[in-house]
Amino acid sequence: MPLLRAAQRRVELLVLIVLIAVATSWFFFFRTSEQTILLAMPFSSRPRVTIRQGTIIGSKTVDPTLKFPQALDRFLGVPYAMSTGGNNRFRPAVPVGEGKKEFDARKYGSTCLAMASGGDGEDCLNLNIFRPSKRPEGEKLPVLVYIHGGAFNGGFGHMRVISSLVAWSSRPMIGISFNYRLGALGFLSGKLAAEEGALNLGLKDQSTLLQWVKENIHDFDGNPDDVTIMGSSAGAHSVGHHIFNNPRQSPLFHKAIIESGAATARLVLPYDATIHETQFSEFLSHLDLLDTPPDELFDVLRGLPVDEIGKASLAVYHKYDPQVRWPWQPVIDGEGGFIPIAPIKAWRAGNWHPIPIMTGFNTNEGANFINPGIATSNEFTTFFSNLIPNFSSDDIRALADMYPDPISDPDSPYVETRPGLGAQFFRTEQAYGHFAYINPVRQTTNFSSQKSSVWLYQFAAKVAREGTLHAAHDNFATYNIDIWERSPSLREITGKMHAYWTSFITTGDPNTEPGRWEERLTWPKFVMGSETGDQTQYGEIAVFGQGNDEMTGGAEQGAAVKIVDDGWARDQCMFWDKRTELFES
């Protein structure tokens, strides 16, 4: 019995470690939240906009703690769809209807039921709009729509400080963040869910929001014909799926920023894949509904308290989280669906919207998700065998050859020497990062550059013992005060990143608008490389913050930005690229 209890404690500790890593990836780098101070002003002087659903009354704000250079108008918690509770649960969102009432938009609205953040419930499909209080008269401004991350199981719209991105932009723009359904409520999968029309509801929520922007943003002085969609992590995967969605129709957006993600990221499986059916059954088991007749099931599910749905959703998530085999993900839903075919097949068939794209990755994308104590080569291969069931024994041997064992091979580039980390940690996090994020980003770059302008980046500033973590770039790109106040060199890194990002949002090219950092390198478009004899020339990539370790208390300043050939980890990415269909079938 003592041995059993010890084993149970080890499992519980492992689950806790992974949960902390995931939470860190979402929230550590979002510790500066969207907090502002309302300017004292009479009700009649508050900014107001009348649209089809009524009059939206916002607030004019400044925030001395964030030291914005200008005041912003904020319109918070504005509904873009009806409540998803009751009879609307597990159904596509219903757009908000016409109305003449006034809506007080001074506070954030309810967030969707989620894993890490808790969430408020099901009346959660709302958006937040940020615009400069002083704007060029008669000019319609470029619009940014930000899609938040969180593994499709957590997060909320205002977890990233989009107001900072807007406030510091040298060219006026409008920023939007919003909520969409998460977990089982937003991404239920399986045959019964397909029959009910309940697949990919979170992605469909996002499309409903984009349609709302197209119809209403003009009244907020935004340009509906100049919309950039941007996402990080799961938000980036979402952006990738929107780029594929309905390629024969004009999209509801015109540019895209895809940060640490892609449509081909991680596993994108058919809705009836074995793991999806298993997870759906486990979900029903937690609700004591396994014996419910299929034709009655969704009526019963719609009648349950939402907290019970949330607990069951979270229980299934907890089971698969240590293996990074998260449930409740976008699925291939077939002809007429949101993701009709495997994303890699869509790339190869040319079925995507050819729009300008900025995309990139961080150096240690996998470090957030790997058990820090992973110690043996057997643990390494077992992790990937569980993660990718379609891997054959030959694939596992090839994986071990591509990432040499740091214990048996002293020349392995993955030798781990940092205190507190297992002997296989660096090897495993690099392999997982290449598989889940970095190769998918490169696939986006390689394919989309054939039809449109693409700019590729790598974020390399060290932010933790483990390196440049997943999501570590987020506060840098938005020019958050908790970065730029630390040192002049960090101010330069975040300032130049913000200048490139906002130039792309407002002009379609990261170099066009000089911004507050006029003395910065020209970031060239990515062009596929070529081979001449023994020489391989890759496309060019902008690398931000390489060599800087000040976020971890170091003194190295590194380089704010440099332009180099994109040859880093190319062989490893080629390994994963050749096997992509194993992750989508």
Token reading at 160: 């990233």
Is residue 79 within 8 A of residue 98, CB to CB? The reply is: no
| H/E run at residue 14 | helix 2-27
Token reading at 438: 């970095």
DSSP one-letter string for 346-395? HHHHT-S----EEEEEETBTTTTTS-TT---HHHHHHHHHHH-TT--HHH
Residues whose CB is less than 8 angstroms from the CB of residue 284 and which lie 6 or more positions away in sequence, other chains included: 290, 292, 297
Distances (CA, A) of 364 to 17, 304, 465, 467, 532: 17, 41, 11, 6, 31
Residue 77 burial (C-beta neighbours within 10 Å; 0-12, 13-18, 19+): buried
What pLDDT, on the 0 to 100 scale, is given for residue 24? 39
What pLDDT, on the 0 to 100 scale, is given for residue 248? 81
**Average pLDDT of every residue of the chain:** 92
Residues of the chain with pLDDT under 50: 1-32, 36-37, 117
| Rounded Cα gap, residues 395 and 398, in angstroms | 5
| pLDDT tens column, 291-338 | 999 999 999 999 999 999 999 999 999 999 999 999 999 999 999 999
What pLDDT, on the 0 to 100 scale, is given for residue 452? 96
What pLDDT, on the 0 to 100 scale, is given for residue 518? 84
Positions marked catalytic: 233
Q: Which CATH number applies to 361-583? A: 3.40.50.1820
CATH topology of domain 31-267: Rossmann fold (3.40.50)
Backbone angles phi and psi of 455, in degrees to 5 = -125, 130
What is the pTM assigned to this prediction? 0.92
What pLDDT, on the 0 to 100 scale, is given for residue 45? 83
What pLDDT, on the 0 to 100 scale, is given for residue 46? 93
Q: Where are the domains of the chain?
A: 31-267, 361-583
| pLDDT tens column, 226-253 | 999 999 999 999 999 999 998 888 999 9
| Rounded Cα gap, residues 358 and 356, in angstroms | 7
| Rounded Cα gap, residues 504 and 502, in angstroms | 5
Residue 320 burial (C-beta neighbours within 10 Å; 0-12, 13-18, 19+): middle
